[in-house]
Amino acid sequence: MQLIRYLSEFKGTSTGLAIAIGNFDGLHLGHQAVIACMKAKAKQFNLTSAVMIFEPQPLEYFSKDKSPARIYSLRDKLQALEVAGVKLVFCMRFDAEFANMSAESYVLDLLHAKLGVKSVTVGTLFTFGKGGKYTIDDLRAIGSGVGMEASAIEGVMQHGKRISSTAIREMLKQGDLNGAKEALGRDYSMSGLVVHGNGIGRNLGFPTANVNVNRRVSPLRGVYAVKILSAYGIFDGMANVGVRPTVTNHGNKVILEVHIFDFKHSLYGESIRVFFISKIRDEKKFNNIDELRLQLMQDVKSAEVMLKDHHFEHLVKW
């Protein structure tokens, strides 16, 4: 998969593009339906499959510090798109200039002239252009003049409700990992590089891999039973996502710590993916280190029970 961050890097294709446009946060089943339609159009019209995403995401640009937690980091989103078989990803910088683009400039100048788009696929809630005032109908009307066709895909339903990134964030916040898994089509996960910590976990008898997840806000908080995918294979473990109130004072900076069961290797500088299987408890501040150690011993037992019958052959795709 090729990632394009600047339009100057893109030299065009011999056939033109079929493109899906959206935030695709989490790449849930609704997003997957959009991408599946785009890929079908690419095959039908002999086009190259492509996706357009935005950094920052539009809501992050407009809401600033009040924006909701991301389901996936940019890294995880790109990996999910690659697994989905997308050939090209345009990661557009969403700034004042992009936000104020007219509908005509968006369709004719950007999509048609600069990218060579011949087919567009979006969700039915898609809007674009200045003020987000324009819809699929406008895209079709403007694009038809240059031979660009466009489709809008209805949402995928889960228990009578439309699957959405907002709904999945709420599931993750509430600890409903099974509901999130159903909506995503996969277990929820985070990935990142293992970095050096302060050794507190090791001193407690629970050495941890500290994972750099580059998140301002996390959709998860608490202690979880997890599966860990590493260069050494798949392992059971437990993870804490939070601020470690008993042992440190990092303010609101969220840290992902993973205690991997029966693991003897060094992971510093390597990338791992952590799959969240079941929530054990909320994070809490203990009165002292001994209380924390006793709770961690119980957490290990809980995690072992939760993970006993889980099998993860599908993780090799990641």
Domain of residue 127, CATH code? 3.40.50.620
CB-CB contact of 72 with 84 (8 Å): no
Q: Which two tokens stand for residue 212?
A: 């750099």
Number of domains in the chain: 2
| Angle, helix 177-184 to helix 165-174, in steps of 10 degrees | 160
Query: Residue 248 has what pLDDT?
Result: 66
Does 178 map to a domain?
no
Regarding whether 125 and 261 lie in a shared domain, the answer is no
Last residue of a domain, one of 139, 158, 177: 158
CATH code of the domain containing 203: 2.40.30.30
* pLDDT beneath 70, residues of the chain: 199, 202-203, 216, 245-252, 312-318
Predicted model pTM: 0.91
* Tens-digit pLDDT profile for residues 218-275: 899 999 999 999 999 999 999 999 877 666 665 667 889 999 999 988 899 999 999 9
Regarding whether 145 and 23 lie in a shared domain, the answer is yes
Does 174 map to a domain?
no
| Of residues 86, 90, 92, the one with CA closest to residue 38 | 86
Regarding whether 223 and 118 lie in a shared domain, the answer is no
* Tens-digit pLDDT profile for residues 28-47: 999 999 999 999 999 999 99
Regarding whether 96 and 193 lie in a shared domain, the answer is no
Does 167 map to a domain?
no
Regarding whether 126 and 9 lie in a shared domain, the answer is yes
Q: Which two tokens stand for residue 129?
A: 């252009």
Regarding whether 210 and 126 lie in a shared domain, the answer is no
Does 149 map to a domain?
yes
Range of the domain at 88: 2-158
Does 176 map to a domain?
no
Query: Residue 312 has what pLDDT?
Result: 65
